[in-house]
Amino acid sequence: MSTTDNPTTAATSLRSAVSLEVRPGRPSPIENTLTFAWRALLKIKHVPEQLFDVTLTPIIFTLMFTYLFGGAIAGDTSTYLQFLLPGILVQTVLIITVYTGFTLNTDITKGVFDRFRSLPIWRPAPIVGALLGDTVRYTIASVITLGLGLILGYRPGGGVAGTLAAIALLLVFAFSLSWIFTIFGLLMRTPNAVMGVSMLILMPLTFASNIFVDPATMPSALRAFVDVNPVTHLVTAIRGLMGGGAAFSDVVWVLVASAALTLVFAPITMRLYRTKS
């Protein structure tokens, strides 16, 4: 009679195969977070359609605004491109942050996050990991926007160092802004509702800013809003870094705003995550 024919022997063999002499240690918060960040990247691998917004949006916006409005606003497309590209870079990445709440809500509706909350892991890891994974999407969008701009004739006066610093600053702000959309993802009933409400808030912030035109040309009431709009301050800092004339105060303002957004909205997100039924 073979070993597999004896249930007792088979069970003993199975236990010896899976038994460990040393119990593995519990993963650290960093390991938990990186695991969920890798999960976010694997979702892109298995559903590459998720990259359509990352690849097509910057191309469409850059070409459309440069060649439709460049001549009318700046007199020629080349001059307008130098002004526009940093702003388009900001708009592209900020719009993509909406998908953080969208994908989170999708996981919730499918019951995936109920499973995550039952695991013996660092509680914020699923959300923080997803946000870190999304920074890869932001980076891809930034590279595509910048690459297209260089092909069209954009030349950053700040050189490679200034451009890399601008992208890093943008990623920091995008990460902090994403916490707001995670709240929407936890509160809304459907992914489409998350998308609709997020865009309703984000669109006025991006269009009523200095992305496309100098605020000096705007009516006084609109300009008052534009001047306090955080997107305006972000674009000013990015435009300065890429152009080689960044003011230290502009960069500090963005960093402080990013820290404030994270400190305010990250705890709210985690409280909602813990109490969501």
- Report yes or no on 96 lying in a domain: yes
The per-residue pLDDT for range 70-86, each reduced to its tens digit, is 888 888 888 999 999 99
- Report yes or no on 73 lying in a domain: yes
Residue 255 scores a pLDDT above 80: yes
The per-residue pLDDT for range 203-248, each reduced to its tens digit, is 999 999 999 988 988 899 999 999 999 999 999 999 999 998 888 9
- Report yes or no on 150 lying in a domain: yes
Q: Give the total number of structural domains in the chain.
A: 1
Please state, in angstroms and rounded to a whole number, the distance separating the CA atoms of residues 267 and 128: 12
- Report yes or no on 124 lying in a domain: yes
Average pLDDT, the chain: 86
Amino acid sitting at position 47: V
User: What was the pLDDT predicted at 1?
Assistant: 47
- Report yes or no on 77 lying in a domain: yes
7 or 260: which carries more pLDDT confidence?
A: 260
- Report yes or no on 136 lying in a domain: yes
- Report yes or no on 43 lying in a domain: yes
Which domain covers residue 52, as residue numbers?
Answer: 26-275
- Report yes or no on 247 lying in a domain: yes
Q: Exposed, middle or buried: residue 225 (CB in 10 Å: 0-12, 13-18, 19+)?
A: middle
